[in-house]
Structure 1
Amino acid sequence: MSQNETNGATERLTVGTDTEARDIAMILLPERQGNALPHLVWLGGYRSDMSGTKAVELARFAERLGTGCIRFDYSGHGASGGAFVDGTISRWLEEALAVVDHARSRLGTRRMLLVGSSMGGWLALLAAQELQRRGHGGDLAGMVLIAPAPDFTVELIEPNLTAEQRASLAERGFFEEPTPYGPDPNIYTLKLIEDGRRNRVLGSVIDAGCPIHVLQGMEDPDVPYSHAIRLMEHLSCDDAVLTLIRGGDHRLSRPEDIDKLLEAVSHIIDAS
């Protein structure tokens, strides 16, 4: 039995139309009857998918609590369709919001707790802003952000581009970079970087309208913990907590890291 099979069957949702249509894979775990706890919504990182350790443990936790859980893969990721190189922050945000909207009708989801990892932390903040614009800000019970990487294209990639990478962006529209997380290199496209500039959140105060708990490893080679501290300086909510994990890396997938994740989720649920 696969990890996904322990928590429900994979469903499909088409997002976009015509040439922009892409097939999004998702797993929706319904709440137990009468359970009023917020549903947990997983927002994964760049090139990660909903079968990763943190996502699966979150779904198992939701199952133990009897509440709903929403997991999905962005286009170009995991079991979803679409080309990875077509991905942008705006495109993946559109998919996240479409999945949430679908869950509202499919599961009756209203109150939600967003759990965003790395790039998913950026998308969680953008999703919160969009839900507020729609008048649904009260539906957010809170957020747990794991090694969040808001504005990573602007803040962490662009300033460190080599002359060779800049030339590749100009000539080929992308550059590649080796990664310790798999055999294939990371691909960063010009459209991703340009779109990242349009989706910045660290340029002003971030009013998420809900409690936020940030978990950040101090040995993270990809997102330095100074970036998490900078995010905290931009959050307007009084109920914002930062936990720095000595020895923690970017993935924060060790058993002790998972314990901290579930503790943070529990704390927000208990306060909601």
Structure 2
Amino acid sequence: MQPTAPDFLDVDGIAIAVRHQTGKTPGIVWLGGYKSDMLGTKAEALADWADRTGRAFLRHDYSGHGESGGDFNEGTISTWLAQSLAVFRRYANGRQILVGSSMGAWIALRMVQQLRKAGDDRVAGLVLLAPAPDFTADLIEPTLTDAQRRDLADKGFFAEPSEYSDQPYIYTRALIEDGRDNLVMTGPIDTHCPVHVIQGLADPDVPHAHALKLVSHLPSDDVTLSLVPEGDHRLSRPQDLELLQRAVESLVERAG
């Protein structure tokens, strides 16, 4: 299916690119990872599945990502969370399954917290792929080198080569400091909905111990954990996409 041109939603003066396929509920909401966009392999596979099955599907690019406006280096978890909530409230109708990849899993968990605080209980399930909640505090800060700490102090950021792009990953002091205000794995995470976690055991970016830590904070009777023996961080092989589709279908069936 050829992606249509995006709509744009103004969120705090930034044009956020959105693609929305209308259809049956519960719908699917895609939340991408750090420096990824809504036209990646997993998002496109879900869009094709939603099109075939007549299911509503909603996705967007965070500011500084993909087709959205804004400066990537000015983004924080709070910024991207606010944009995701604005898109959800504007476009999502009825119950929804949130599918979060890597950083998108952190955004999804924070969305559930914020939506429930506002009295919105429409999230019917979560599928979290290579989940990286709290990654700034748990995965970045403990491994900072002296040079990276100096860069953060002196320049306000440090750069790191990326396996997925010619451009380096930029991590800003603002991102790291804001991450501390958005931590979710500080106690029980009450999602009030079933959660399916999919984690590759060959993931070089988010170790499977991080997924196990997340699961330990979730209510065990509503959590499914799928460990993929040779799965990497992308989880974009055909068998990975099939597992993702089955996980989404299962939650759709449970939600009725």
TM-score, normalization: structure 2? 0.98
Q: Displacement, 1:67?
A: 1.4
1:9 corresponds, among 5, 9, 16, to 5
> What is the aligned partner in structure 2 of residue 120 from structure 1?
104
> What is the aligned partner in structure 2 of residue 215 from structure 1?
198
1:29 corresponds, among 21, 43, 51, to 21
Q: Displacement, 1:94?
A: 0.3
Letter in 1 for 2:106: W
> What is the aligned partner in structure 2 of residue 246 from structure 1?
229
CA distance in 2, matches of 1:140, 1:123: 13
2:174 corresponds, among 191, 213, 219, to 191
> What is the aligned partner in structure 2 of residue 48 from structure 1?
36
Q: Displacement, 1:236?
A: 2.3
CA distance in 2, matches of 1:254, 1:68: 24
Q: Displacement, 1:9?
A: 3.0
CA distance in 2, matches of 1:218, 1:252: 10
Query: SS at 1:208's partner residue?
Result: coil
What is the number of equivalent residue pairs in this alignment? Answer: 255
Which residues of 2 match residues 101-120 of structure 1 at below 5 A?
Answer: 101-104=89-92, 109-120=93-104
CA distance in 2, matches of 1:140, 1:238: 17
Which residues of 2 match residues 245-264 of structure 1 at below 5 A?
Answer: 245-264=228-247
Q: Displacement, 1:62?
A: 1.0
> What is the aligned partner in structure 2 of residue 146 from structure 1?
129
Query: SS at 1:38's partner residue?
Result: strand
Contact 1:211 1:237 in 2 (8 A): no
CA distance in 1, matches of 2:253, 2:56: 16
CA distance in 2, matches of 1:78, 1:8: 14
> What is the aligned partner in structure 2 of residue 234 from structure 1?
217
Query: SS at 1:110's partner residue?
Result: coil
Identity percentage over the alignment? 51
TM-score, normalization: structure 1? 0.92
Query: SS at 2:221's partner residue?
Result: coil
- Per-residue CA deviation, residues 41-100 of structure 1 (Å, 9 max, x unaligned), is 000000000000000111111111211100100000000000000000000000000001
Letter in 1 for 2:20: L
Q: Displacement, 1:110?
A: 1.5
> What is the aligned partner in structure 2 of residue 74 from structure 1?
62
> What is the aligned partner in structure 2 of residue 96 from structure 1?
84
1:134 corresponds, among 102, 109, 118, to 118
Letter in 1 for 2:79: R
Q: Displacement, 1:29?
A: 0.4
Contact 1:39 1:68 in 2 (8 A): yes
Letter in 2 for 1:165: Q
CA distance in 1, matches of 2:225, 2:101: 14
Please report the RMSD computed on the Cα atoms of aligned residues, expressed in angstroms: 0.9
CA distance in 1, matches of 2:204, 2:141: 16
